[in-house]
Amino acid sequence: MIRWSPVAPVRTACPHNRLSRLLGAQLPDGITVGASTLRAWASASFVGARHIFPCTGNVSLPALQERLAAVEWKLPGQIVADLVVEREERDGGDFRIEILTVED
């Protein structure tokens, strides 16, 4: 028998500000992070967000990707599911860091 409960599941607060601070602490000197954006994201099984951080500075993107992928991100109620460092194709930044978080 399936029982319905009127109590909604507990959702954690958006981790974007905390993620911004954690990312800033992991970046090497000389990297500047621009105005970040947040986009809601969902699949059939997960709910989360895409966090996009445009950056400027001179750095090896593969080395930065490896460095950030090794970080154990401390986001209560969230999991960092994917992290990509890629060259920015639009104006406003040299490269961007995109982090996908999902609710735990």
Tell me the pLDDT tens digit for each residue of 50-98: 999 999 999 999 999 999 999 999 999 999 999 999 997 765 569 999 9
Residue 8 has pLDDT above 70, yes or no: no
Q: What is the pTM of this model?
A: 0.82
Per-residue model confidence (pLDDT) at position 73: 94
Distances 31 to 37, 52, 70, 103 between C-alpha atoms, Å: 18, 15, 18, 29
**Residues 40-51: pLDDT tens digits?**
999 999 999 999
